[in-house]
A and B are shown apart, each in its own frame.
Chain A
Amino acid sequence: MPTDTAELNQLLRSGGYLPDRGLTTATYLAITLGRPLLLEGEVGVGKTELAKALASVFDRKLIRLQCYEGIDTSQALYEWDYARQMLQIRAFAEHELTEEDTVDSLFGEKYLLERPLLAAIRAGDRCVLLIDEVDRADDEFEAFLLELLSDFQVTIPEIGTIQAESRPIVVLTSNRTRELHDALKRRCLYHWIDYPTADHEEDIVRTRIPDVSDTLTAKVVAAVNRLRHLDLAKPPGVAETLDWVEALQALGAGDLDQSLAIDSLGSVVKDREDLEIVRKRLGDIVEVA
């Protein structure tokens, strides 16, 4: 584990993720204090990526729980393998075993289907747990998460309590479609990820796509920054910048001009109305050298 923020920053950089000062500090504190980290920010600023990067630089397994409306414990925590249980019951019936033996063996580990949260509790510090888009789940699910995140233990009635031997690194992300409960926020460290500065974004592009020319990088980053000020319905994130650079590279471009921009616009602007706005003002967006 890193002993200070500089070391963590270096580690993440080596894994291809370039966090700024605030995010490094937040991540460092989450790791050393053993608290979950709640990340919010515009779409495509690298919230999910952080968890992936943490898993790769610390050589841990990434366990991801994608939240959605109506998610419940049988999809998030565990479920019994009913089909197997029923087959086993038939087998038991033929051998005339006592009821006690049957029940004990039927609700053993063998028949337990592990879902992400249980997997994370069992893996402990051998994993990074990513709870993605927690705002999409119902608010009752939040209450359940709260309980889980405070003790890192679950009770399965038939088996007993399973306690994490060590705490996993937990990253939660939210797109702010609704307010999260204050109690859940209190349990977590909170960080708002902003769009990176132009210099920082150029760094990110160079790290992720090593063989790209500096001119192209600088021009694309400048263009994307102008797009972000255009009041689009869906402003491009860092992910879109990377997509655009890759698209241009695939087209064999060493520089960005208007006609290339028109051809590849679909990799940054993904909404019909937005496309119209951008096409009209393409001259302002793609700087003429």
Chain B
Amino acid sequence: MRSPERTPPRTIVEFCAFLRTFGLSIGTGDVLAFTAASAKLEPGRLSDVYWAGRITLARDLGQIALYDKAFSSFFLGVEDGEEQRAAMTAVRGRDSVITVPAGEEMSEGEEEQPSQLGRAAASVTVNRRKSFADCSEEELAQIRRIIKSLRVAPPVRASRRHRGAPKGHRLDLRRMARKTIQNHGDPPRELAWLRRRPKQRPLVLILDISGSMADYSRNLLQFAYSTRRGAGRVEVFCFGTRLTRITNSLKHRDIDAALALAGKEVVDWAGGTQIGASLDTFVRLYARRGMARGAIVVICSDGLDRGDPAMLDRALDRLGRLCHRIVWMNPMKGDSEEDFATASLGMSVALPHTDLLWSGHNLASLEEFAEALPNIR
């Protein structure tokens, strides 16, 4: 229990140190900002200290929750260990605030290695056509190494930015003016043009990690990693009974840790897979805000939905109107070319909304997908 009378400046420093133990990143500059802010308000009034700190130190909604916990424990002496820990883990799951050192981080050298789009050099003997489900642990480890070296690039679209080009849609007046000055007032013989600069489409992966799908999704996640290194914008979500966003935790953790964490949060073994409800959550909370606009959305699932098919239908219909293309990866499709839509109710609902159906059940299929991705129109 501290009294607000001794707020500045020693208590502020102590409080900041205390906040850091909650996972908030607070630099010296932030401490100074907090001090300056509380000096402008009534230093003796606890609510002013609260607001000054919250406004200068918390940087998003998740951090506000942490800040509130820390504040009440530090100034009001509300010591509720259980509740505190619950809050911390909740925030970990949603917006990774706490950085855990990554185990499988790629080294600089590896990052720079030149590798080509699509197939990587096969220095290891791996049967590319063997389904992931039949592979041993060692084989899977090798496959992941190969996937890592894939260069994946989502397709491009014309952005609003322009760059100079020999032929284009708009005159480059800036260059024309400069050339005219160089020519002492004579307009240049050749016109300078602007062309719209291409930009990579965002890629959104929505992975089913319940039951048997976990292994397939694990490989696709590695695939997502490769895409991110290809400089595109990639968002990753996992679902089972519920949906969670793991883009942020992937920044700080290796793939296995991120998956395990997501698994704890979204897979409720009794609840079964709720594809419709999960996609609905995605549409409501993320796609509508603009995350899916112009994006390629890849959904990886076997289509075995325990929920209401009407909900799945509605969610996909909306998603189809928000994003550019929907790709459905279903490992159950295997190598078969024939129609397998009847295999599950979920799939037969999903197929009319799907622009592209891929199997992704073995390495060859993923490599082919990496090659096909830049050409999706």
A interface residues with partner B (beta carbon < 8 Å)? 5, 21-22, 25-26, 28-29, 32-33, 35, 40, 68-72, 80, 82-83, 85-86, 89-90, 92-94, 99, 102-103, 106, 135-136, 175-179, 182, 185-186, 189-192, 233-234, 273
Number of B interface residues, CB 8 Å?
44
17 additional contacts (CB under 8 A) given A80-B174, A93-B184:
A26-B51, A29-B55, A33-B33, A69-B160, A70-B199, A82-B173, A86-B177, A93-B185, A175-B289, A177-B291, A178-B290, A190-B55, A190-B59, A191-B55, A192-B60, A192-B61, A234-B288
A25-B41, A93-B185, A178-B291 known; A186 vs B173 contact (CB < 8 Å): no
- Cα distance A99–B173 when bound, in Å? 20
CB <8 Å contact, A21 and B47: yes
Chain B, interface SS category: helix
* B167: Cβ under 8 A from any A Cβ: no
Q: Closest CB of chain A to B62's CB: distance in Å?
A: 10
Q: Closest CB of chain A to B148's CB: distance in Å?
A: 25
CB <8 Å contact, A33 and B174: no
CB <8 Å contact, A22 and B176: no
| CB-nearest residue of chain A to B233 | A178
B interface residues with partner A (beta carbon < 8 Å)? 25, 27, 29-30, 33, 36-37, 40-41, 47-48, 51-52, 54-56, 58-61, 64, 159-161, 173-174, 176-177, 180-181, 184-187, 199, 248, 283-284, 288-291, 314, 318
Q: Closest CB of chain B to A170's CB: distance in Å?
A: 15
CB <8 Å contact, A176 and B55: no
Q: A190 touches which one: B58, B284, B318 (CB < 8 A)?
A: B58
Q: Closest CB of chain A to B234's CB: distance in Å?
A: 12
CB <8 Å contact, A89 and B180: yes
CB <8 Å contact, B64 and A192: yes
CB <8 Å contact, A186 and B291: no
| CB-nearest residue of chain B to A43 | B289
Q: Closest CB of chain B to A82's CB: distance in Å?
A: 4
- Cα distance A94–B184 when bound, in Å? 10
CB <8 Å contact, B51 and A22: yes
- Cα distance A144–B18 when bound, in Å? 33
4 cross-chain pairs, A with B, having the tightest CB-CB distances, nearest first: A93-B185, A70-B160, A82-B173, A177-B290
- Cα distance A190–B56 when bound, in Å? 6
Q: A26 touches which one: B55, B181, B288, B291 (CB < 8 A)?
A: B55
Q: Closest CB of chain B to A20's CB: distance in Å?
A: 11
- Cα distance A70–B294 when bound, in Å? 14
Q: Closest CB of chain A to B194's CB: distance in Å?
A: 11
| CB-nearest residue of chain A to B175 | A82
Contacts of B59 in A (CB 8 A): 182, 185-186, 190
Contacts of B176 in A (CB 8 A): 82, 86
CB <8 Å contact, B40 and A233: no
Contacts of A189 in B (CB 8 A): 33, 37, 55-56
- Cα distance A189–B52 when bound, in Å? 9
Contacts of B288 in A (CB 8 A): 233-234
Q: Closest CB of chain A to B42's CB: distance in Å?
A: 8
- Cα distance A21–B47 when bound, in Å? 9
| CB-nearest residue of chain B to A139 | B233
CB <8 Å contact, B51 and A21: yes
Q: Closest CB of chain A to B324's CB: distance in Å?
A: 14
CB <8 Å contact, B185 and A92: yes
| CB-nearest residue of chain B to A79 | B174
CB <8 Å contact, A83 and B161: no
CB <8 Å contact, B314 and A89: no
- Cα distance A211–B280 when bound, in Å? 41
